[in-house]
């Protein structure tokens, strides 16, 4: 009766040794294949460090995403205040300029979108006008009136 468990133990150890040997031979003989098959455990510490770096990057991206939504909300609030005459155009431009000041990518886009603008403030003013136009697409006559008024104010701002 004691022979049966012993045979199982020997067979288990033999199976383990065979798999270990095959694993070792695969890593030594064909390292690229072993790596592609996911059998390369020698780089576990490197992989763990890479995972940590990717998790850090994910946290950074989530923070940037959240910050963008806050900025979008702030810009939308300013344009709403402008539409409802709770803020004048120069103040709206100045406020939006402060909100988006640190968004380098948006500033680069504004340079491309408004090549006629000579200053950052002028580009931001055109951006605000564009946001207003977008908000008023369902009201074309109001859109045209407000756009004309804002463009006239912009020209006055740039003349001073």
* 3-class secondary structure, 149: helix
Answer whether residue 1 shows pLDDT above 60: no
Answer whether residue 36 shows pLDDT above 80: no
> pLDDT at position 15, please?
80
Domain boundaries, the chain: 1-39, 72-159
> pLDDT at position 54, please?
94
pLDDT in tens, 83-130: 999 999 999 999 999 999 988 888 899 999 999 999 999 999 999 999
> pLDDT at position 42, please?
62
In angstroms, the Cα distances linking 21 to 12, 25, 29 are 14, 6, 12
> pLDDT at position 52, please?
92
**Is the Cα dihedral 113, 114, 120, 122 positive or negative?**
negative
Please give the mean pLDDT across all residues of the chain. 85
Mean pLDDT of 70-91: 95
Q: Which among 126, 67, 116, 60 has a CA at the least distance from the CA of 96?
A: 126
* Claim: this prediction has a pTM higher than 0.75: no
Phi-psi region of 136 (alpha: psi -120 to 50; beta: other; left: phi over 0): alpha
Answer whether residue 53 shows pLDDT above 70: yes
- Higher-pLDDT residue of 49 and 91 is 91
> pLDDT at position 150, please?
95
Q: What is the full DSSP assignment across 62-99?
A: HHHHHHHHHHHHHHHHHHHHHHTTSS-HHHHHHHHHHH
> pLDDT at position 25, please?
66
For residue 38, name the pLDDT band (cuts at 50, 70, 90). low
Return d(Cα 65, Cα 4) in angstroms, integer. 63
């Amino acid at each position: 009766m004691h022979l049966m468990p012993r045979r199982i133990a020997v067979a288990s150890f033999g199976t383990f040794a065979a798999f270990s040997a095959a694993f070792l031979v695969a890593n030594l003989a064909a390292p690229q294949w072993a790596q592609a098959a996911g059998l390369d455990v020698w780089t576990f510490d490197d992989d763990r460090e890479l995972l940590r770096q990717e998790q850090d990057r994910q946290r950074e991206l989530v923070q940037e995403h959240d910050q963008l939504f806050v900025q979008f909300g702030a810009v939308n609030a300013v344009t709403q205040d402008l539409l409802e005459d709770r803020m004048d155009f120069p103040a709206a431009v100045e406020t939006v300029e402060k909100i988006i000041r640190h968004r380098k990518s948006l500033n680069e886009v504004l340079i491309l979108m408004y090549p006629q603008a000579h200053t950052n403030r002028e580009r931001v003013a055109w951006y605000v006008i564009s946001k207003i136009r977008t908000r008023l697409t369902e009201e074309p006559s109001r859109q045209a009136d407000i756009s004309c008024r804002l463009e006239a104010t912009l020209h006055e701002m740039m003349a001073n």
